[in-house]
């Protein structure tokens, strides 16, 4: 048998890849599973986006290889979006690179900047892909603890006391996944200043700003951010385009060029029609965001009721498409708790531990579930009582 690469020994199959097989198996056996575990939007993109995609496939050259840097009009639309929403000015020629989803960007950035033995500061709790990709490129993940007491923001003073000589990159994610915590203007500045002082590339993963977020922010708003920071963003959550795989990375020209060196050796450009649809999405007006928030806000209110029935506590001011909830005192460990829900109530939610050790004692509900389904889940507990 042909042996696999040693790097595969450093990672495991993604939790949701494994667990959803189990959940699908239960559903196939006839169990009435309600899946509240994964953040895959169940809503559709706008009609304008869909019509643009339909019309674009008839354009000349639509089915040819596309530029590694994306259509000029897509880069311009991203620049306009960042100026309009964040007040951040970027050069669409040199400071923006469209991606096939921001998850692709995590790999590209890591390959562009990390050498074997470099260390990477990774939030705990945080998106598991940061750690997996770090290991895959031969670098060393170095988790930093985030706690509810500190508002899920790193203790930069404590980190500064540690030996950071090998640290090359630091992942941050605000609005934070999975907790929904946000960062203030002052906190953004402290992250940039920390990166400058210790010569660390700061990368903010920012796909959740426009879901139940009234004050969207970018790390690039901080003074001097362009020197040491990159920002990833995505159309997946904001525009219900997860399966389209449209993301972007923004930063100074030298950093973007480094990422492009990797990307241009790994794909041949995003499909033309998808790029045209992305342009239409980025030009969406205020009504789109209001409609999206109205739906998610209704769902969140129902989800709060379900969390309360389970004896959980939560932050009603958190943003994004999840409800991060603390388990009640005396509850089983997170994974045991969610398995009990799954097998006794046919309800699947994510255990906090898949996001890191600091996630123990928490569970995460996704708002990518229709209100009627959340009500159905609530009814299963009311019936019992």
- DSSP per residue, 117-134: T-EEEEEESS-HHHHHHH
For residue 184, what are the CA distances in angstroms to 32, 94, 122, 215, 216? 42, 28, 20, 10, 10
Give the integer Cα–Cα distance in Å for 315 and 31: 32
Provide the whole-model pTM: 0.92
How many other CB atoms sit within 10 Å of the CB of residue 213? 18
Give the integer Cα–Cα distance in Å for 253 and 372: 47
pLDDT at 8: 80
Q: Give me the helices (H) in the chain, please.
A: 15-28, 47-56, 72-86, 102-113, 128-136, 156-160, 185-198, 225-228, 253-263, 272-282, 286-309, 334-345, 371-384
Give the integer Cα–Cα distance in Å for 178 and 1: 40
Crossing angle for the helix pair 334-345 and 371-384, to the nearest 10 degrees:
90
**CA 157 distance to own-chain centroid:** 26
pLDDT at 38: 83
Give the integer Cα–Cα distance in Å for 118 and 114: 6
Residue pair 225/211 in contact (Cβ under 8 Å)? The answer is: no
Residue pair 283/77 in contact (Cβ under 8 Å)? The answer is: yes
- Map tokens 């829900």 to a residue: 341
**Which regions of the chain are under pLDDT 70?**
13-16, 383-385
pLDDT at 257: 97
pLDDT at 345: 92
């Amino acid at each position: 048998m042909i042996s696999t690469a040693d790097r595969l020994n450093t990672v495991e199959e993604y939790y949701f890849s494994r667990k959803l097989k189990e959940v699908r198996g239960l559903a196939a056996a006839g169990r009435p599973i309600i899946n509240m575990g994964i953040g895959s939007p169940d809503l559709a993109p706008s009609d304008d986006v869909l019509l643009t995609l339909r019309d674009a496939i008839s354009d000349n050259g639509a089915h040819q290889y596309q530029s590694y840097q994306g259509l000029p009009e897509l880069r311009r639309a991203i620049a306009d979006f960042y100026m309009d929403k964040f007040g951040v000015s970027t050069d669409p020629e040199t400071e923006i690179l469209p991606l096939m989803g921001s998850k692709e960007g995590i790999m590209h950035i890591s390959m562009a900047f990390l050498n074997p033995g470099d260390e990477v500061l990774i939030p705990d709790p945080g998106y598991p892909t940061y750690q997996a990709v770090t290991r895959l490129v031969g670098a060393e993940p170095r988790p930093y603890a985030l706690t509810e007491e500190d508002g899920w923001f790193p203790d930069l003073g404590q980190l500064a006391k540690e030996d950071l000589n090998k640290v090359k990159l630091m992942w941050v994610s605000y609005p934070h996944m999975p907790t929904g915590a946000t960062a203030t203007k002052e906190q953004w500045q402290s992250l940039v200043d920390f990166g400058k002082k210790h010569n660390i590339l700061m990368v903010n993963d920012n796909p959740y700003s426009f879901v139940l977020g009234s004050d969207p922010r970018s790390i690039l708003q901080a003074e001097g951010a362009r020197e040491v920071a990159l920002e990833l963003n995505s159309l997946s959550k904001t525009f219900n385009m997860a399966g389209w795989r449209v993301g972007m990375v923004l930063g100074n020209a030298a950093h973007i060029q480094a990422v492009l060196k990797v990307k241009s050796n790994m794909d041949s450009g995003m499909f033309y029609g998808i790029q045209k649809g992305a342009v239409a999405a980025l030009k969406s007006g205020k009504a789109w965001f209001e409609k999206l928030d109205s739906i998610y806000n209704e769902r969140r209110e129902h989800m709060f009721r379900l969390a309360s029935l389970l004896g959980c506590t939560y932050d009603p001011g958190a943003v994004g498409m999840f409800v991060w909830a603390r388990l009640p005192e005396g509850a089983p460990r997170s994974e045991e708790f969610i398995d009990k829900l799954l097998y006794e109530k046919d309800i699947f939610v994510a255990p906090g531990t898949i996001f890191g050790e600091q996630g123990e004692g928490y569970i995460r509900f996704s708002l990518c579930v229709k209100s009627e389904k959340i009500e159905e889940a609530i009814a299963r507990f009311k019936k019992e009582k």
